[in-house]
Amino acid sequence: MDFFNYKNGELFCEGVPAAKIAAEVGTACYVYSKATLLHHYRQVADSFKELNPTVCYSVKSNGNINLCKVLAEAGCGFDVTSGGELFRALAAGGDPKKMIYAGVGKTDDEIRDAINVGIAAFNIESEAEIENIDRIAGEMGKKAIGALRVNPDVDAKTHAKTTTGRKGNKFGVDIDRAETFFETYRNLKNLHVGGIHIHIGSPVYEVQPYIDAVAKVIELIDTLTGRGHKIEWLDLGGGFAVNYKTPDQALPVTEHAKALVPMLKGKPYKIALEPGRYISGNSGILLTKVLYRKVSGPKNFVIVDAGMNDLIRPTLYESYHHVWPVKPDAKNLFPDRNADRLPVDGEVVDVVGPICESGDYLAKDRSLPKTQRGDLLAVFTAGAYGFAMSSNYNNRPRIAEVLVDGSTYKIIRRRETYEDLVAAERI
């Protein structure tokens, strides 16, 4: 569900016309819906409420401090993967006691900073890391808290670059080594390992991989408990998918909860969740303007002012994002954005950007209504891993971000300038 809808022949974000934002802010730009962001956070929290979970929004999906502030004010915690993400979460008003620190390569300085602010826990990825955190906490004269990230060897059936729960992935400790891990580090002086963490990948479109992973981990916890280890919480990770292509492509989180809550209800350990994409994905669109049209051999190109530096997912992950005019003609109003519906009198085009790379595209072989120079296009479901993965490649200033709240909007990140491109280099 989102709050981007066509009304009176044009696209609105909540109560604001997208064309109005484009005219006043310029293109390309990201536009977010506050109502959508909060809807999906609350849907996660409500779906799992019988477990009283700690929901930790994954900052890496979209770390704008203004979006994080909205979530923090709603009671959301944060999953961070770097010192910068920890800084952002704190700047947004996040509660350190609701922050979980993940990642395979935490530096000593990052570990010290996290211990100092009093995060809820580190997700620990290896034997070397647990020894290092214990050492650093001891040098600081403080106690650290951790959860072992277990790799359950479950196929999430997602993209090879975003699957994280199989043997051979760089994340976590193989589940068949977990018992030995706990036995080896039973008596650490400065680090208390009292939890288990899993994250099998993203986006995950099916429920069964979660069922399989949770079943394996419940069995592991039972075994550890029998050996005298007290497991105080289980972090289920995130990865719930969203509808990129069609309205029914992904299951709502309510369906995942229906399967998982009965498995976990009544367990003597707390539950945490780390959704990112599910909260932020549908909350944002990318607005871009048509610059030129071009024919090359059998291909028709629509060249726009947004490029792979603004949205890298299509070329990095071969990802599909629905693209549609902001003001389509009356024959082509598709409020449900169903990718299988073909436009009337349309054409098949590649929507490409200005970057000097053949991989610079937003959509390939896409059926769209005919467009002309100056027309606005909306790239949907761009709130997650859109701006967060953007860059200055080709020395392009990063674009503006806008947050809509009802009938008003505000710029929550200004468009960069050329001076911004070289400011850090002026020595």
Q: Which residues are annotated as a binding site for substrate?
A: 277, 313, 317, 357, 385
CA distances from 213 to 102, 360, 363, 379 (A): 19, 37, 34, 34
Q: How many CA atoms within 13 Å lie on the side-chain side of 62?
A: 34
Is 76 considered catalytic here?
A: no
Beta-carbon contacts of 163 under 8 Å, excluding residues fewer than 6 positions away, are 155, 156, 169, 200, 201
Tokens 């997912």 belong to which residue?
313
Amino acid at 280: S
Which residue, among 314, 321, 396, has the nearest Cα to 355 in the 3D structure? 396
Tokens found for residue 121: 């826990």
Q: Answer yes or no: are the C-beta atoms of 201 and 238 closer than 8 Å.
A: no
**Kind and range of the H or E element at 189?**
none
* Inter-residue contact 351 to 314 (CB < 8 Å): no
Q: Which of 29, 56, 76, 356 is catalytic?
A: 356
Q: Within 10 Å of residue 223's Cβ, how many Cβ atoms?
A: 13
Residues marked as binding for pyridoxal 5'-phosphate?
239, 274-277, 385
Cα 188 to the chain's mean position, in Å? 34
> What phi and psi values does residue 186 have, to the nearest 5 degrees?
-65, -35
Q: Report cis status (omega within 30 of 0) of the bond before 28.
A: yes
Which residues are annotated binding-site positions? Answer: 239, 274-277, 313, 317, 357, 385
Dist. CA 405–CA 412, nearest whole Å: 12
Q: Sign of torsion, CA 219 270 38 415?
A: negative
Exposed, middle or buried: residue 404 (CB in 10 Å: 0-12, 13-18, 19+)? buried
Phi, psi of 333 (to 5 degrees): -85, 105
Q: What stretches of 58-107 show up as alpha helix (H) in DSSP? A: 65-73, 83-91
Our measurement of the distance from residue 165's CA atom to the centroid of its chain's CA atoms, rounded to an integer in Å, reads: 17
Q: Which residues participate in catalysis according to the annotation? A: 356
